[in-house]
Every structure is written in structure tokens, then in C-alpha cells.
Amino acid sequence: PRQPAKTLWYDRPRYVYLEFCVEDSTDVKVTFEDQQLVFSCRNADGVEFYNEINLYARINSKDSREKRSDRSITCFMRKWKEKVAWPRITKENIKPAWLSVDFDNWRDWEGDEEVERAMMEQYAEV
């Protein structure tokens, strides 16, 4: 039986990153579409992994790639609208059990503090 791979994600101004945590993966297949990503592979024990993610927003599927390592498969997907933050990776506002934010790689974007502060001040004045 197939099972979803444990998945980490984080957001950057130009790309959204997804990491499928499967060690020693084989038969890796990643399909990027405008608003969907489909991932499948096997691990060393022959367990089959499958994840299908309907994405929060549109990506440029031609400018999206995956990179396999012994520990995981990382996908970097080029945002269609750059510098627009994704509050989540999934279109649906539900968090699957296998999906979590990669806090080690989650950074505040450069210069966003000012923008946020300006927004907060704006709200304070209302």
C-alpha cells in the first residue's frame, strides 16, 4: 500500500520549497503542474510513497525542479507571482498529518519587517 512521505515546506520570495523526507529513494517521479504537485518514489525497503498536493497558488511549472539526495527529495517551485507570501502550501485550508513547516529554513524575508511594521501602524491608527 502507498503512503504519504513526511513533507516539510518553506516559503521564499521567488520559490516555494518542499522536502519529501525519504531516505535512499528510488523510482523518484515528480510532476509539476500549474497548481499541483505529484510525487512518488520507493524507499530501500520497497515501500511506495505518494503525495499529491493541490498548491495554494500558481507556480511556473517549467521553472520548477527537484533535487534528490540520500536523505530526501527537495522540490523548488518558482512562484508565478513573486514576492507574494504563501500562508500555506495547500489550496485547502487543512493541514495533512504528513505535512509540516520547515522551521529551520523558514526565515523572515529581507526588508519585510518594515512592511509589517508599517501595516501594524496603519492598523493602530484605524
* 32 assigned to some structural domain: yes
Name the phi and psi angles at 61, rounded to 5: -65, -30
pLDDT digits (tens, 9 = 90+) for 24-73: 999 999 999 999 999 999 999 999 999 999 999 999 999 999 999 999 99
Quote the CA–CA distance of 36 and 34 in Å, as a whole number: 6
CATH of the domain at 86: 2.60.40.790
Contact call for residues 88 and 56 (beta carbons, < 8 A) = yes
* 17 assigned to some structural domain: yes
* 2 assigned to some structural domain: no
Contact call for residues 58 and 80 (beta carbons, < 8 A) = yes
Model confidence at 107, in pLDDT bands (50, 70, 90)? confident
Q: Which of 9-13, 104-108, 119-123 has the least mean pLDDT? A: 119-123
Quote the CA–CA distance of 18 and 74 in Å, as a whole number: 6
* 1 assigned to some structural domain: no
Residues spanned by the domain of 103: 7-125
* 14 assigned to some structural domain: yes
- Give the number of domains in the chain: 1
Quote the CA–CA distance of 43 and 20 in Å, as a whole number: 12
